[in-house]
Amino acid sequence: MDKAKKAKIGQTYLNDKTFLDIIEIIVSNEAKTVQQLLKEASFFIFVMAGSFDITGDELETTYPRNGLNGETEMKIMSMEEPNSTTSADLYSNVQKGFIQDGI
């Protein structure tokens, strides 16, 4: 997008791998906040969305929607490559993540 707007960004961020690293850092930092919100929430549900990243790998992104103090919000919690996209593997992946995060 910056390139389309003719912003001078140099060559540092003009490769796919650097972009993925930046996204992973953002998701990792956001996940810590979301994990704490879910621990405090009276309820939560989640949505998973599968997509292919720019390298061709399948990624499953988990978006929990939680309620806290009468407000609901949905944020990104994780972005992982599953073993497969079968319901059993997706369920196992989410369950492992929630247990690992203490939720």
**1-10, 74-83, 86-95: lowest mean pLDDT where?**
1-10
Average pLDDT over residues 38-58: 78
pTM: 0.62
Q: Is 86 left (phi over 0), alpha (psi -120 to 50) or beta?
A: beta
| Strands 58-68, 71-74: pairing kind | antiparallel
> Is the pLDDT reported for residue 13 higher than 60?
no
Query: How confident is the model at residue 84, as a pLDDT?
Result: 85
54 vs 57: CA distance, rounded Å = 7
pLDDT digits (tens, 9 = 90+) for 85-102: 888 988 888 888 888 888
